[in-house]
Structure 1
Amino acid sequence: MIIQPTPELKKYTLPQLLRLRARHERERVALREKEFGIWNEVTYGEYFARVRHFAYGLLELGFQRGERLAILADNIPEWLYAELGTQAVGGISVGVYQSSLPPEIAYVLSYTGAAVVVAENQEQVDKLLEIRNEIPSVRKVIYEDPRGMRAYRGDPWLISFEEVLRLGEAAEQKQPGLLDELIDQGKPDDVCHLSLTSGTTGRPKAAMLMHKNLIHMGVSLQSIDPLKPTDDYLSFLPFAWIGEQMMSVGMALAGGFAVNFPESVDTAMADLKEIGPHVMFSPPRVWEGIQSNIWVRISETYAFNRWMYERMLAIGMKAADYRMSGKPMPLGLRIGYWLAEQLMFRPLRDQLGFLRLRRAYTGGAALGPDVFRFYHAIGVNLKQIYGQTEIIGIAFVHRDGDVRADTVGVPIPGGEVRISESGEILCKSDAVVAGYWERPEDTAKTFEEGWLHTGDAGYLTERGHLVVIDRVSDVMHTAGGEMFSPQFIENKLKFSPYIKEAVVFGDQKPFITAFINVDPQTVGKWAEDRGIAYTTYIDLSQKPEVAELIGKEVRSVNENLPEHLRIRRFVLLYKLLDADDDELTRTGKVRRKFIMQRYQPIVDALYGGVQTVRVETEFKYQDGSVQKVATEVRVLEAAARAEVAGGYVAR
């Protein structure tokens, strides 16, 4: 018997649901992990056995119901064993981004009061040892990878994952029915996991996820976008992110499809080609990166191949408009698209690993209309979603045949939406979390009578689609009183293949300005094709030719904006904005206020009429080292060209 994703599943907890699948689908593949080039399979029976042994091992270590266990690791099966094993004994798991620096980790562990930490390898253990005195609540650190850990033997603070499993296996033999009793005590509305919010305006808060939240999401989304138990999903985005919790925990346990783990983050895209997933969920930067790679490869091929690609893509783009709207294609276009599908699109999807892809989602930020149409042109059923950590990732999604690049779709089944008088988006469903861990004031403010106050401004179209404008707190006004959304302008800039990131300013200012990060891949290839030599990102970003290229992109955006929203001046930032420098959140969102404070001299220069500004900055690396850099940044004018010795600069 194969368990179907029906509303009946919402009466279970996550460990209860895993136990149910292990009983009825014992030999079916639940997980795969690539190690040393080989895909190793884990059945539901083995999956639950390892969760069970880890849970018993925690009990042997003195772990108590209600305590917190934090996980600091890449995407590995052991994350799931630890998370579900913790929940099985009534504990609460906590996700920590594996890229976090020691001070960030110390904050999360202290804030949540974690008693135990699972750390993947020596690198993560070293971070914990560095902050050991700052995290007194942590009694034990469990490391998964023993390589490099020989020198740490004898420290009672540390224990291997394998040793915990051995302890658990021995404990189960002594008390075989104990864990089932503990699992049975669980309730669907128990808090089971703490997931960090993005922290764009301050330190992240921990959203309290309940079992029913994740299972509701898995059941509701699959009621409109059905997945098969034989389907595959590749888990490569951070488990600390709500999107991966939604897919690899909630969706996978509700739908029963297999979760696949790449050999490493670096090999994820290559491993994706081997797996050929049926479902994929990624933020825009992943989809944009894949398209950029295709663009680079096509630009390097023969002229005839480029000509064929452009002709067939034009046919695909026309077909995409019909496919996205659900309208039947004219006969001539159907024939043309069939030929393009056989000659180019199908082989291209095969090379990307998308040949079996039926469901694809993007969320977290806006995806450019041209990028959206591109994927539908080549036959990828990509949909925009909208949601937050506080509502388990997805509250709105496009339906098949009703995909619109300027909206995020309609509510998923069981969800309600309301737009407040101030224009704020309010949501309600069984996916809304219990609140924020130890933040009663924030909880009362954000969650009111079951409604999640998203903090985002938006409106509903006549067809019931949601259009998201920006964060309510980020909506700005020019000195002349005109209201504008910086995110709206930033997204339009980032639709350019040459622009990786943008930060817009202009609150209470006479005009709008911007910081721009060029995309090192596409702009680097553009420069090489024109014989423009460069060494570092700083060098590339400050080339006069690059300034002219980006100037054209900015002017193109300005042409489609009303006068008061047009960018007057901008700079090409000499470094990529980075989460390690606190400029981005761990989910890649811009920390606008922090950036403005950090680069205040450049902001002042944008409004001060100067042509150049000298800056000194520091680069922070994960090993704690700091590099100081001094450089001169040109302030560029978006309205017109001015060729001078210093390059393309403001008049």
Structure 2
Amino acid sequence: MEVRGLPHGSRPLRTGGLADSVHETADRDPSLVQLSRRRPERPDVWEPVTAGEFRDQVTAVARGLLANGVRFGDRVALMSRTRYEWAVLAYALWHVGAEVVPVYPTSSTEQVRWILEDARVCAVVVEHEHHAMTVAAGGGTATTLKALWQLDADCLSVLAEDGLGVPDEEVHRHRAVVQPQQVAVVCYTSGTTGTPKGCLVTHANLAAETGTLLDGWGVLVAEPGAAPSILTFLPVAHVYGLMVVVCCLRGGIRLGLQPDIAPRQLLPALASFRPTFVFAVPYVFEKIFHTARRAAEEAGRGHVFDKAADVAMRHAEAEERVSRGSGRGPSPALRARHAVYDRLVYRRLRAVLGGQVRNAVSGASTLRRELGLFYAGAGITVYDGYGLTETSGAVTAQPPGAVRFGTVGRPMPGSEIRVAHDGEVWIRGETVFAGYLNNREATDAVLRDGWFATGDLGLLDDAGYLVITGRKKDVIITSGGKSVSPTALEDQLRHHPLISQCLVVGDDRPYVAALITLDPEALDHWRRLRGKRAGSSVETAGDEDLRAQIQRAVSRANAHVSRAESIRAFRILPGEFTAESGLVTPSLKLRRQEIARVHAADIEAMYPRREDDLLPGTGRRRGRGR
């Protein structure tokens, strides 16, 4: 089955590059507040940056880059968290026709070395001294590397001063040569299954992606009469976060950049910035939900929250049936209960996001249907979407007013989706990348007659909505020959408030098992409610009450799959998988092979070696299909 998106929107990039929009916006309305930034001494105050001020600062930094030898077609790495200066530098580089190479700030020395060598960058911008040391250890002596600047040493001012002798005309001469098909970003994949690959994303790719979003979904960014604003906390080294920055600056939407996604830093930023729209990942929506429920439990109102959640989901399901033309909507009694819980619960939840958000986007992985229904019932419709680095961001999204929760929507305008005979999702459209840097073999393996083979498994429902069911490389084949997609089981397990992460294993094993990590805050909360003393994470393994709680979660997950696919053993690990340990990507995806390597002993312990498990004369385990 193949589904084609709607025709293209009205913002294609016919000539020039992304930097042109900075001048177009400033020429049209120089006083428009284009961004907001914070000073370190007043993190609760957001200072406005007008379109005219942003244009002038970007131009000044671009002059400094030219003065330091950065030229058309050069590649410059930006190793930083999500912050205002990153946006200035990216647009300054695009002004002179250079290519941005984003580097995750949590990257290891080996990862940095690979990217610097593979992309042959001529300069690097880092956030602080620790990053500078990582670059030096990872390739700072490379012959192609000519300069290193540091954000915390106020390198923007240094570059602006260096460029005082360069006329603006020189910057504009470089900008005038940029064409849509030129590479704007060499965006490296997260490397979940091997060495990261550099995706060549063009100016036209990002313009098509952001133009489509602005044309088709721009009406959702703010309520009528409100000034649109977005606070992005997504990593700008990921194509999702990069796309949000470009979308705001092309669309005249006030943009704030928040460097830390941890709740203690993120929630105060949301409260002070008060965005009208949020781009996030399922982790954020899950974290807000579980935090709100824990707060209700500690106040002795957990039962109220649970009833409110049930009403929200039933209310949203009834509204969903109306949008499908198969129902009459919520009953009068359900509407009345919903109105009561809006005052008691939902309004407080909306306040966590600043109080103005009524619509949001979730990406990077599928948002659980139940969670999507809950937020919709609480007054925030979350539009789930699907895309990859290779597609410059989203290629499917929930249509406004026609959300089907649990799916990732329909093809966006200009995109086409095809599900191959083996269930793999294929994509065609203007947002599909130009190929992998220095890797013709990998490029030819995924680009086939204009189609991009994603490696993801999915299906299209009767209305053309895409449902992602897993990843081809993640499919487990047990020793009994049963094929198991671990994603569904892992998603079900993570629904439990105590469980933060899980990895389902079982390849060439007699049955399926799981490694499970616990949310430290949720665990402390669970212990307090039961009068247990706070213990170290190591002590969790001996807590029989806790193990029984997790066993119930496993049993619930098993109820959604066949017996042969069910989890027969699990192990609670003493700590979470983190990006710092190299076990998850910066976008929070599991590095499955690395986790399996690091926790090989834990996995082996879930498969006791017994003589009756072995096939006679082979030393191999007998497939028991249990």
TM score, norm. by length of structure 2 = 0.90
1:142 corresponds to:
149
Alignment counterpart, residue 159 of structure 2, candidates 157, 164, 167: 164
1:245 CA drift (Å): 0.6
Task: Confirm or deny: 8 A CA contact 2:293 2:305 kept in the other structure.
Answer: no
Alignment counterpart, residue 212 of structure 2, candidates 211, 220, 225: 220
1:635 corresponds to:
none
Greater Cα shift, 473-482 or 125-134? 125-134
Task: Confirm or deny: 8 A CA contact 1:232 1:278 kept in the other structure.
Answer: yes
Structure 2 stretches lacking a partner, 5+ long: 1-8, 611-625
1:76 CA drift (Å): 1.7
Relative distance call for 1:606 and 1:308 in structure 2 (3 A) is closer
Amino acid at match of 1:171: G
Greater Cα shift, 477-486 or 21-30? 477-486
Relative distance call for 1:181 and 1:374 in structure 2 (3 A) is same
Q: For the residues of structure 2 that align with 1:171 and 1:22, how far apart are their CA atoms? A: 23
Compute the RMSD of aligned alpha carbons.
2.1
1:134 CA drift (Å): 5.2
1:578 CA drift (Å): 2.0
Is 1:73 aligned to 2:85, yes or no? no
Amino acid at match of 1:445: A
2:284 corresponds to:
286
Task: Give SS of 2:35's match.
Answer: strand
Amino acid at match of 2:369: P
Aligned pairs for 1:67-216 (under 5 A) are 67-131=74-138, 133=140, 135-146=142-153, 160-168=155-163, 170-172=164-166, 175-216=167-208
2:595 corresponds to:
595
Alignment counterpart, residue 312 of structure 1, candidates 288, 303, 308: 308
Is 1:488 aligned to 2:484, yes or no? no
Is 1:230 aligned to 2:230, yes or no? no
1:23 CA drift (Å): 1.0
Relative distance call for 1:179 and 1:134 in structure 2 (3 A) is closer
1:12 CA drift (Å): 4.2
1:533 corresponds to:
533
Q: For the residues of structure 1 that align with 2:213 and 2:369, how far apart are their CA atoms? A: 24
Task: Confirm or deny: 8 A CA contact 1:9 1:254 kept in the other structure.
Answer: no
Amino acid at match of 2:85: E
Q: Deviations over 1:172-207 (max 9, x none)?
A: 4xx231211211111111101111112111121111
Alignment counterpart, residue 253 of structure 1, candidates 249, 253, 256: 249
1:354 CA drift (Å): 4.4
Is 1:24 aligned to 2:19, yes or no? no
2:51 corresponds to:
44
1:133 CA drift (Å): 4.9
Relative distance call for 1:213 and 1:578 in structure 2 (3 A) is same
Alignment counterpart, residue 14 of structure 1, candidates 1, 15, 18: 18
1:253 CA drift (Å): 2.6
1:441 corresponds to:
441
1:534 CA drift (Å): 3.5
1:86 CA drift (Å): 0.9
Is 1:59 aligned to 2:51, yes or no? no
The one of the two structures with greater contact order (alpha-carbon pairs below 8 A, sep at least 6) is 2
Task: Confirm or deny: 8 A CA contact 1:324 1:401 kept in the other structure.
Answer: no
Q: Deviations over 1:124-171 (max 9, x none)?
A: 223233345554422111112128xxxxxxxxxxxx331111122x13
2:431 corresponds to:
431
Q: For the residues of structure 1 that align with 2:607 and 2:426, how far apart are their CA atoms? A: 37
1:595 CA drift (Å): 2.0
Task: Give SS of 1:370's match.
Answer: helix
Task: Give SS of 2:311's match.
Answer: helix
Is 1:450 aligned to 2:450, yes or no? yes
Aligned pairs for 1:220-619 (under 5 A) are 220-226=212-218, 227=221, 230-249=227-246, 251-262=247-258, 267-302=265-300, 305-325=301-321, 326=323, 328-350=329-351, 352-608=352-608
Task: Give SS of 1:437's match.
Answer: coil
Q: For the residues of structure 2 that align with 1:560 and 1:470, how far apart are their CA atoms? A: 15
Task: Give SS of 2:305's match.
Answer: helix
Amino acid at match of 1:255: G
Alignment counterpart, residue 38 of structure 2, candidates 30, 34, 37: 34
Task: Confirm or deny: 8 A CA contact 1:408 1:467 kept in the other structure.
Answer: yes
Q: For the residues of structure 1 that align with 2:160 and 2:542, how far apart are their CA atoms? A: 55
Amino acid at match of 1:236: F
Q: For the residues of structure 1 that align with 2:604 and 2:496, how far apart are their CA atoms? A: 26
Relative distance call for 1:575 and 1:311 in structure 2 (3 A) is closer
Q: For the residues of structure 2 that align with 1:135 and 1:499, how far apart are their CA atoms? A: 44
1:45 CA drift (Å): 0.9
1:323 CA drift (Å): 3.0
1:243 CA drift (Å): 0.9
Task: Give SS of 2:422's match.
Answer: coil
Amino acid at match of 1:105: V
Q: Deviations over 1:459-483 (max 9, x none)?
A: 1111111111111122222222222
Q: Deviations over 1:399-444 (max 9, x none)?
A: 2343333321111111101111222110011111111111111111
Task: Confirm or deny: 8 A CA contact 1:98 1:238 kept in the other structure.
Answer: no
1:150 corresponds to:
none
Task: Give SS of 1:607's match.
Answer: coil
Q: Deviations over 1:489-516 (max 9, x none)?
A: 2112112222111111122322111111
